[in-house]
Amino acid sequence: MIVNKKNNILHKSFKIGILLKGIDAILQMVGGTLLVFLNPHRLSKIVVLLTQHELSEDPRDIIANFIVKSSLGFNLSAQYFGVFYLISHGIIKLVLVIVLWKKKRFAYPLTIFSLALFIIYQIYRYTLSHSAWLIVLTIFDVVMIILTFIEYRNIKNEVYE
């Protein structure tokens, strides 16, 4: 068996990465569940409550206007998509995290494939929204693909006990 410092650091990074993916998966499922109760009418009330005072003082307030503009695109279709996307994405990631944690060999290529699909979708969404958060998430997913590949190679070669 070959276990050196570099492999150990990569292994620990992989474990931390899948732990973060697991936490993210749970948060996505909770967020999707909460989104079930946030319809466009309720969101409109919340936005008015949050921005009314600020916009009455300064109608050109950048943050308040950003919140108002962002909420305008939220309709029932966006709500249903958000619920479906968050819950399904969270379930997929949580299942992958569980099988990776159990070191199931099939999970490594499946995770790489799934993360590649997520990356493609995130890049597509970035072209529509230009959200910096999508770039950060995509970079994290690329790193996770690399770490998953290295971990899979090490597992196949029985580098760890």
Task: Provide the 3-class DSSP secondary structure of residue 4.
Answer: coil
Query: Nearest-CA neighbor of 142 among 27, 26, 17?
Result: 17
d(CA 2, CA 154): 9
Three-class HEC string of 100-114: HHCCCCCHHHHHHHH
pLDDT in tens, the chain (161 residues): 455 666 788 889 999 999 999 999 999 999 999 999 988 888 889 989 989 888 888 888 898 888 888 888 778 888 888 899 899 999 999 999 999 999 899 999 999 999 999 999 989 988 987 888 889 989 999 999 999 999 999 888 775 44
Integer angstrom CA distances of residue 116 from 48, 69, 107, 130, 142:
39, 32, 14, 19, 8
- Does this model's pTM top 0.75? My answer is no
Helix axis angle, 132-156 to 107-129, nearest 10°: 170
Contact assessment for residue 120 and residue 137, using Cβ atoms and an 8 Å cutoff: no
